Amino acid sequence: MNQPRRVENLQTDKGRVPVYATGIVEQPWADYSAVDHDVWRQLYERQRQLLVGRASDEFLVAQDAMGMSPDRIPKFSELNRVLRDATGWELIGVEGLLPELDFFDHLANRRFPVTWWIRRPDQVDYIEEPDLFHDLFGHVPLLMNPLFADYMQAYGRGGVKAHGIGPEALVNLTRLYWYTVEFGLIRQQDGLRIYGSGIVSSKGESIHCLESTAPNRIGFDLERIMRTRYRIDSYQKTYFVIDSFEQLIDATEPDFTPIYARLATQESYPAGTVLESDRVYSRGTGEGWASDGDV
């Protein structure tokens, strides 16, 4: 496998992260080694098994519809044929995390950047930065869902705008991405399910977020989320639960500018805070992980 071209490390609100060359790169598919394909297979099989009954139906259906399989690392060009037909999104290969404005601009134009390289076998359980498995297995399936696809584009447009407003607005908006796209839970008829990519691509967090008594599971509330800090170095202390993807679309329709202005005068909440006004879901009980409303 080729080496990604890491440019430098940069201190950001997500901690110290590597920044890569920002250009779009052709997926060097022929260069993936047998070990790379095997890492994909191992992770894919393990997560799929774990996610049946835990991930949202939409996620699992979309992943199958895309034609992803454990057999080999998928080719972006093949996935793109399916994805373009379904929702007009396309995958582009990148070296790794992008500067925020580049990232927002891609999303606003229905391009999803996917890291082309995959982690090493000794990183199967944990890797500190997004790799191909996180991006492709975790993020891409829901781009097949028309509502979620629209939400992602709206987020990109909102990002471009927030970038123009200032760093505090960006902090607020990034929390929305974190608590929905990366670590969101959704309420299905038969209980709470996962749709966030940071969860579906992690074995430990897939179990923790639904089955542990430690984290809070709180009903989605836009401003509450924008005020809530998050952890990057451990499992989340709080997950926000949406009722449907329509809820995300509705919540992101208004102009956030007055919200940013209001939040600028308010304290943020530590990650594990529970407020009296929160709708708290209990841990899933029994087979369906039924959430039984307020506790």
Binding site for Fe cation: what residues are annotated? 134, 139, 182
Nearer to Fe ion, 197 or 238 (CB): 197
C-beta of 189: minimal distance to Fe ion in Å?
Answer: 27
Residue 208 a catalytic site member: no
Selecting among 134, 197, 202, 206, the annotated active-site residue is 134
Tokens linked to 95: 């070296």
Per-residue binding letters, 171-200, with Fe ion (x by CB under 5 A)? --------------------------x---
Give the total residue count for the chain: 295
Q: What are phi and psi of 85, to 5 degrees?
A: -65, -40
Selecting among 58, 90, 182, 205, the annotated active-site residue is 182
3-state secondary structure (DSSP) of residue 71: coil
Strand partners, 18: 9
Secondary structure letter of residue 148 according to DSSP: H
Residue 201 a catalytic site member: yes
Let me know if 138 is exposed, middle or buried by CB neighbors in 10 A (0-12, 13-18, 19+): buried
Binding residues: 134, 139, 182
C-beta of 196: minimal distance to Fe ion in Å?
Answer: 9
| Distance (Å, whole) CA 149 – CA 107 | 10
C-beta of 251: minimal distance to Fe ion in Å?
Answer: 20
Residue 106 a catalytic site member: no
What angle separates helix 57-66 from helix 34-51, to the nearest 10 degrees? Answer: 150
Nearer to Fe ion, 101 or 165 (CB): 101
Integer-rounded Cα radius of gyration of the chain: 18
C-beta of 130: minimal distance to Fe ion in Å?
Answer: 5
Please list every residue from 66 through 105 that binds Fe ion, using CB under 5 A.
none
Residue 287 a catalytic site member: no
Q: How many chain residues bind Fe ion (CB under 5 A)?
A: 1
3-state secondary structure (DSSP) of residue 151: helix
Selecting among 56, 58, 106, 139, the annotated active-site residue is 139
Chain residues in the site for Fe ion (CB under 5 A): 197
Instruction: Give the residue numbers marked as catalytic.
Output: 134, 139, 182, 201
